[in-house]
Amino acid sequence: MENTTTTPGRVSRLLEQLTESATLAMARLSRELTQQGLDIVSLSLGEPDFDTPQFIKDAAHRAIDQNITHYPPVNGFLDVRKAISEKFRRDNGLDYAPEQIVVSTGAKQSIANAVLALVNPGDEVIMPSPYWVSYSEMVKIAGGTPVEVKADFSSDFKVTAAQLEKAITPRTRMIIFSSPCNPTGSVLSTEELAAWAEVITRHSELYVISDEIYEFINYAGKSPSIATFPGMYERTITVNGVSKAFAMTGWRIGYIGAPRWIADACTKMQGQVTSGTGTISQMAAKAAVQADPELIHPMLETFRGRRELMHRLLSEIPGLQVNMPEGAFYFFPDIHAFLGKSYRGERIETAEALSMYMLRHFLVATVSGESFGDPRCIRLSYAASESDIRKACGRIKDALLALE
């Protein structure tokens, strides 16, 4: 008989310090409630609701038929890295030789490799805030200290170069950011990136992880990679992947382009953790990065329509502050006006409590802002159908207006 009642033992001190990924936790909870028969509408997880394009699936079928099923080189197949090298040149004006590229199990592992390869215990890592949930926990795994530099709704959630400069100390080893940004959707302009680069290059031994996973989900056009600014190439790890642009979240492929010594360090790390990433997925990702980025256009236009719809619906809710994000597929409205209010005697004090209240009483799943560094906000993903967006925004409105 299956034993489901084992007494839990003691987990490591490291694990005790870590928080569960808030995005994945909320996705899990809404999945569980749906399985219990509740009609949950979920705006929790940032993943395209499209299917992977057929030509990518065909490439995967071919890989299976050709028995590309043995251990790959740890850093990825050479022809896959060549294709990524070409993609960096074509889309980003970045010259990374195949030896400077490492293919990993999602952009998440790409970032984790780079953090673990460069950060020592006691090092400070600056995270312009709001930031993506996993950055802080990865830094903690490495024994580093996450340092938040805060921007809020009033500055479109963008940290200035002057703020960065003020936060840099002799112990600062790294800066991690995403643009387009998860969770805010903000996109740093060429001028803003240039100003950041100018500050960063004044400090030796300071490295940057530029998370460009939302590169193609940018409504304002294209943005430059920070590695293209003077003095930045030598100190930047450019992270990208196929999860978002090609609706390939489950294939788990991400990659970096970086100076050779950093790529080698990431390969060494990966060699002890995963031995390299799945061969079938690599061949599928090769087809994706070789494809004309114009193919993504219809998906981008669908997201653009949903962005406009959601902006309109959220703007109709009195007390909710909402900006117009330029990229990614998230809104990060400021909900602080509702904190301290009550529902049937239950007082809602935090964004986390608000998010749980909306889930329990109004069946709409969101992610609270705390784990992104901003406890005044909640995150809503519009990688959902129009009808779900309408339903969810209606429920959010009802939930907020029910508070007194």
Smaller CB separation from ligand PMP, 23 or 267: 23
Could you tell me how many helices (H) and strands (E) the chain has, helices first?
13, 14
Q: Does 45 bind ligand GLU (CB under 6 A)?
A: yes
Span of 17-25, 122-130, 150-158, 311-319 interacting with ligand GLU by CB under 6 A: 17-25
| 270 φ, ψ (degrees, to nearest 5) | -65, -35
Smaller CB separation from ligand PMP, 175 or 320: 175
Residue 117: CB minimum distance to ligand PMP, A: 17
Residue 339: CB minimum distance to ligand PMP, A: 26
C-alpha 369/C-alpha 33 separation (Å) is 22
Q: Does 21 bind ligand GLU (CB under 6 A)?
A: yes
Residue 181: CB minimum distance to ligand PMP, A: 7
Tell me if residue 291 falls in helix, strand or coil. coil
Residue 379: CB minimum distance to ligand PMP, A: 10
C-alpha 402/C-alpha 398 separation (Å) is 6
Work out what residue 45 binds among ligand GLU, ligand PMP, none; the CB cut-off runs from 5 to 8 Å by kind. Answer: ligand GLU
Instruction: Say which DSSP state 143 is in.
Output: T
Smaller CB separation from ligand PMP, 46 or 76: 46
Among 40, 41, 43, 46, binds ligand GLU (CB under 6 A): 46
Work out what residue 24 binds among ligand PMP, ligand GLU, none; the CB cut-off runs from 5 to 8 Å by kind. Answer: ligand GLU
Residues in contact with ligand PMP by the rule CB under 6 A: 46, 106-108, 132, 178, 182, 211, 213, 241, 243, 249, 254
Please answer whether residues 45 and 244 qualify as being in contact, where contact means their C-beta atoms are separated by less than 8 angstroms. Answer: no
Residue 344: CB minimum distance to ligand GLU, A: 31
Closest alpha carbon to 116 in 287, 310, 243, 272: 272
Please answer whether residues 103 and 255 qualify as being in contact, where contact means their C-beta atoms are separated by less than 8 angstroms. Answer: yes
Amino acid making up residue 16: E
Among 23, 228, 282, 321, binds ligand GLU (CB under 6 A): 23
C-alpha 92/C-alpha 331 separation (Å) is 26
Q: How are beta strands 236-241 and 254-257 bridged, if at all? A: antiparallel
Residue 206: CB minimum distance to ligand GLU, A: 26
> 209-222: b or e for each residue (b if 16 or more CB lie within 10 Å)?
bbbbbbbbbbbeee
Residue, CB closest to ligand PMP: 106
Tell me if residue 332 falls in helix, strand or coil. coil
| 137 φ, ψ (degrees, to nearest 5) | -75, -35
Instruction: Say which DSSP state 81 is in.
Output: H
Residue indicated by tokens 């330029």: 326
Work out what residue 228 binds among ligand PMP, ligand GLU, none; the CB cut-off runs from 5 to 8 Å by kind. Answer: none
Q: Does 24 bind ligand GLU (CB under 6 A)?
A: yes
Work out what residue 254 binds among ligand GLU, ligand PMP, none; the CB cut-off runs from 5 to 8 Å by kind. Answer: ligand PMP
By CB under 6 A, name the binding residues for ligand GLU.
Answer: 21, 23-24, 45-47, 108, 134, 182
